[in-house]
Amino acid sequence: MPASTPATRVALAVLVICTGFNLFARGISETFAVFLIPLELEFGWPRATLTGIYSLFMLTNGLASPLAGLLFDRLGPRWSYGLGLSVFGLGYLLAGRAQELWHFYLGIGLMGGLGVALISMVPASALISRWFRDRLTTAMGIAYGGLGCGVLLLVPLTQVLIEQFGWRVSYTMLGIVLLGLLSLLALPWNQFSAGHPVYARDSALRTQREGHWNLPRALRDRAFWALTSVFFFTAVAVYAVAPQVVVYLVEVGFDPLQAASAYGLTGMLSVGGMVGMAWL
């Protein structure tokens, strides 16, 4: 795909946009780690109860991902991103005004999990695969790298906001940022969804030869279950510990901003791993 073609420019735009959405989706959702201590001090709820909010977020995110794929297939990326940003943003606005525990479970756990599913890698993988072929793995690695960049940038930034303005204002500001991203719905999403004209034609011909890959066919494929296992066990290993990292570092003597920055560095390391392995 020559670098000077209009299709290449659109492909790069799609990659940048998808990476950006991943940055905000993962970065904002991982700020839970720096909200944990302020919420515990404010309400006195047990830490295990508060951590349940994050558990519900992860569970909702996983269970809602097939729904996100269905919505993308039926209505397209504009609806997927629009609904996701709206639900995600309103959930964080609710958290900023929360008075009861269930408010956080609803706003951060349910609404946050659904919102992230609708704006993260589910629509991104569908869009990117329509615009890249020879460098598809590298493009996917870059998009996944946006997840790590979000942690690197937004977790320490949110800690600064909490120290300056308090946790309520910080939640509200994050919600406003997400709702502000709705302005991106003015972009030519129909063109983005159509895919590269050559690749779309080749894909149609390949489907005629090999048949359509639907869910029942995927469920019978060993590679599908192998990838599912990789994601499952990786999530168990990482997210069983991740929400507690900042709290632990603070309790052993680190400044909250230092702890948040250390947590953010894990995002930078994941960027190198994802992009580097994709390039290989």
Tens digits of residue pLDDT in 53-98:
999 999 999 999 999 999 999 999 999 999 999 999 999 999 999 9
- 209 pLDDT more than 80: no
List the CATH code of the domain at 6-279: 1.20.1250.20
What per-residue confidence (pLDDT) applies to 42? Answer: 96
119-160 pLDDT tens trace: 999 999 999 999 998 888 889 989 988 988 999 999 999 999
* Residue 199 confidence class, pLDDT cut points 50, 70, 90: low
* Chain centroid to CA 58: 11
With pLDDT > 90 as the criterion, what percentage of the chain qualifies?
65
Token output for 116? 């992230």
pLDDT at 3: 47
For 30, phi then psi, to 5°, come to: -80, -5
**What's the pLDDT band for 190 if we cut at 50, 70, 90?**
very high
Measured CA to CA, the distance from residue 105 to residue 54 in angstroms comes to: 8
Nearest-angstrom CA–CA distance, 280 and 275: 9
Which pLDDT score, from 0 to 100, does residue 241 have?
80
Q: Is residue 8 a contact partner of residue 2, using CB atoms and an 8 Å limit?
A: yes
What three-state secondary structure class fits 123? helix
* CA distance to 26, 81, 87, 104, per residue, from 179 (Å): 16, 11, 9, 18
pTM attached to this predicted model: 0.87
Asked whether residue 213 carries a pLDDT value surpassing 60, the answer given is yes
| C-alpha–C-alpha distance, residues 56 and 105, integer Å | 7
Token readout for 10 is 């659109």
First-last CA distance in the chain: 20
Question: What's the confidence (pLDDT) of residue 278?
Answer: 52
pLDDT bracket for residue 280 (50, 70, 90): low
Residue 277's pLDDT is what?
Answer: 56
Give the model's confidence band at 4: pLDDT under 50 very low, under 70 low, under 90 confident, else very high.
Answer: very low
8 A C-beta contact, residue 114 and residue 62: no
Q: Are 224 and 215 in contact (CB under 8 A)?
A: no
Q: Where are the alpha helices (DSSP H) in 97-135?
A: 101-104, 112-119, 121-129
pLDDT of residue 271: 62
Instruction: Please list, in sequence order, all residues whose beta carbon lies within 8 angstroms of the beta carbon of residue 216, skipping any fewer than 6 positions away.
Output: none
Report the Cα 96 to chain-centroid distance in Å: 21
Share of the chain above pLDDT 70, in %: 88
3-state helix, strand, coil in the chain (%, to 5): 85, 0, 15
pLDDT band at 202 (very low <50, low <70, confident <90, very high): low
d(CA 147, CA 22): 5
- Which CA distances in Å does 107 have to 20, 29, 86, 91, 225? 22, 11, 12, 4, 32
Average of per-residue pLDDT across 179-192: 96
